Amino acid sequence: MSVYKAGIIGCGRPRREENATGFGQGHIHAEGYKASPDCELVAAADISQENLDRFCEEHSVPGRYLDHREMLSEETLDIVSVCVWPHLHLQLCADAARAGVKAIHCEKPIAPTWGESKALVAVCDEHNVQLTFNHQRRFGFPFRKARELLDAGVIGQLVRLEAFCPNLYDWGTHWFDMMFMYNDETPVEWVIGQIDAREARPVFGVAVESQGLSLFQWRNGVQGLMLTGAKSSEGARGDYCGNRLIGTEGMIEVGVRDGPQLRLRNLESGGQWREVDVAGGIHGGDYVKAGIQDLADALKTGREPELSGRRALQATELIFATYESSRRRGRVDLPLEIEDSPLLSMLERGEVGTSR
């Protein structure tokens, strides 16, 4: 059995440790490569000598580099994980693609702007590199069971998908992606949305809205709704859920705050909520491991990986289309034909962000 040699760019510190500035995703990716029978983690790069040394010692990585370009030049790598903040994704992924790697596994969100997001996917396509993004919740047991129940017809025909989270960009990219999974990757026709940025704050170096609303419709007529921000996220932590699937004959909820990970009500339950027994929650390092094992298998077989760049890009388009709808004060028909991030552009010009 062939073994793919893997390298990681961006070691960081594990979440909640002193001086940690993120989630330490490099460590979680490392566990994924170590768990895969198809992969061998042979190198890592980080601009911090301390983080690099600790990472390589903890995960028994022989190759240590303070410059990712040196790592790409010196090592013969098949797969590279990019575990840095979004504004660095395009350059690092482009460097890896041009260095001749076979696959790139990148953290989400894709990039700070729609133009950069498209360019990142394009450069990997140009160099025939398999590209994946860490939308790991596609492997989460509650989400997969919800999809199984939906496909089995327990809530009738799908009518609407809803999601609740703090922001469209960082967390919202997961929920947009999950809604595409529930709806068979059907393309979206249009988006109409609104955002407020009076309390905008940076997440991993990119400003996000303080509240937002995105309403959109897929080509099969199913509609989607995303609510974000202080009020909606408080609701998501109290009365609401992470995802809601609404059908003609019932409803499924995933990630109910202070409740079950999965529940449903339909005709069979007499309209009463019934908890569905399912292993695991909506978070978990095991889902990241599953994503890495899937991308390695896809590389072997030539199939599209579950976390493909194409799928990640369709979720990302909804983020920037919602921002653009707010800028235009009207509906946006897809495909989205802009290059910037409307939110960042409006913040720069002082068009949003002032308390009223």
Instruction: Point out which residues pair with 308 in neighbouring strands.
Output: 132
CA distances from 204 to 73, 75, 199, 208, 305 (A): 28, 29, 16, 10, 26
CA distance 15 to 12: 9
Residue count (the chain): 356
- Of 106, 39, 113, 101, which is closest to residue 75 (Cα–Cα)? 101
Kindly report the number of other CB atoms within 10 A of residue 125's CB atom: 13
Q: What is the pLDDT of residue 281?
A: 85
Kindly report the number of other CB atoms within 10 A of residue 1's CB atom: 5
Terminal-to-terminal C-alpha distance of the chain: 63
Contact (Cβ atoms closer than 8 angstroms) between residue 125 and residue 100: no
Question: Which burial class, exposed, middle or buried, applies to 31 when counting CB atoms under 10 A from its CB (0-12, 13-18, 19+)?
Answer: middle
Kindly report the number of other CB atoms within 10 A of residue 62's CB atom: 10
Q: What is the pLDDT of residue 330?
A: 97
Q: What is the pLDDT of residue 279?
A: 87
- With H, G, I as helix, E, B as strand and everything else as coil, classify residue 196: strand
Write out the two tokens for 98: 């041009």
Q: What is the pLDDT of residue 20?
A: 59
200-232 burial, b for 16+ CB within 10 Å, e for fewer? beeebebbbbbbbbbbbbbeeebebbbbbbeeb
CA distance 137 to 171: 11
Q: What is the pLDDT of residue 68?
A: 98
Q: What is the pTM of this model?
A: 0.94
- With H, G, I as helix, E, B as strand and everything else as coil, classify residue 120: helix
Positions of the chain with pLDDT under 70:
1-2, 15-23, 230-239, 354-356
Starting at the edge strand found earlier in the chain, the sheet holding 274-275 runs 274-275, 262-266, 250-254, 243-247, 158-165, 223-229, 211-218, 188-196, 332-333
Write out the two tokens for 28: 């979680």
Alpha helices in 139-182 (DSSP H): 141-151, 172-182
Which structural domains are found in the chain, ordered by start?
4-136+285-308 (3.40.50.720), 140-275 (3.30.360.10)
